[in-house]
């Protein structure tokens, strides 16, 4: 499901590229907008989403997460971004390492690169380019809802599988694959 909804107006009307702080501000305001959150249909089987008008030409999404769903390991290539939780709680597993942009299929990760954080209602998270993570709704019973924004708009997503310390590039998705 893909639709476009109007989030809260940005605090500035700048026409330049948004900063990470502006993306965080946007996702926090959108996540706190109860009317906007209520427009998202929730499906017990799979994630749902609405495309939002992000600040400064950014790409933004309102996403519903049924219990037990997640993204799998991925990165956002050259885009930086932010997300905020509007309902439920999300868990983010991430890697504190920058992966090569290309030329590899399998990497063995060093010890100590794993990070985990809980992002509860009202909390947000910013991340830089090439940030590798997976986001999960680990609840057995409760939907989670979040708002995400990326700049520049996502040129691609690299999807990975992980077995212990081994990270494997599985495939690359382009915008036409998910819009």
pLDDT single digits (tens) 22-62 = 999 999 999 999 999 999 999 999 999 999 999 999 999 99
> Measured between alpha carbons, how far is 97 from 151 in angstroms, rounded to an integer?
20
Q: Does position 12 have pLDDT exceeding 60, yes or no?
A: no
- Rg, the chain, Cα only: 16
Which residues make beta-bridge pairs with 63?
Answer: 49, 146
Check whether 5 has a pLDDT greater than 80.
no
pLDDT in tens, 51-79: 999 999 999 999 999 999 999 999 998 89
Q: How far apart are CA 30 and CA 34, in angstroms?
A: 8
HSE at residue 120, side-chain half, CA atoms within 13 A, is 0
pLDDT at 13: 46
> CA distances (Å), 55 to each of 27, 78, 82, 169, in order?
10, 18, 12, 31
Strand ranges (DSSP E) for 57-178?
59-65, 73-75, 80-87, 89-95, 106-108, 114-120, 124-127, 133-136, 144-151, 157-163, 166-173
Q: Give the predicted TM-score (pTM) of the model.
A: 0.87
pLDDT (0 to 100) of residue 102: 78
What's the burial of 149, exposed, middle or buried (CB within 10 Å: 0-12/13-18/19+)?
Answer: buried
- Residues 91-131 pLDDT 10s: 999 999 888 877 889 999 999 999 999 999 999 999 999 89
Q: Which domains does the chain have, with CATH numbers?
A: 4-177 (2.60.120.10)
Q: What is the DSSP letter of 27?
A: H
Sheet of 114-120, strand order:
106-108, 166-173, 157-163, 73-75, 133-136, 89-95, 114-120
């Amino acid at each position: 499901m893909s639709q476009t909804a109007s989030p809260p107006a940005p605090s500035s009307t700048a026409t330049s590229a948004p900063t990470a702080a502006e993306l965080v501000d946007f996702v926090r305001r959108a996540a706190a907008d109860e009317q906007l959150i209520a427009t998202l249909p929730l499906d017990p089987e799979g994630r749902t989403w609405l495309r939002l008008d992000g600040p400064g030409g950014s790409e933004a999404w309102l996403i519903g997460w049924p219990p037990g769903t997640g993204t799998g390991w991925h990165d956002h290539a050259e885009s930086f971004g932010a997300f905020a939780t509007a309902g439920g709680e999300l868990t983010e597993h991430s890697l504190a390492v920058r992966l090569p942009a290309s030329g590899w299929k399998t990497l063995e990760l060093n010890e100590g690169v794993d990070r985990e954080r809980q992002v509860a209602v009202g909390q947000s998270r910013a991340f830089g380019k090439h940030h590798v993570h997976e986001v999960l709704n680990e609840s057995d019973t409760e939907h989670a809802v979040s708002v995400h924004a990326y700049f520049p708009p996502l040129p691609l997503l690299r999807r990975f599988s992980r077995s212990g310390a081994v990270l494997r590039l599985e495939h690359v998705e382009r915008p036409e694959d998910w819009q």
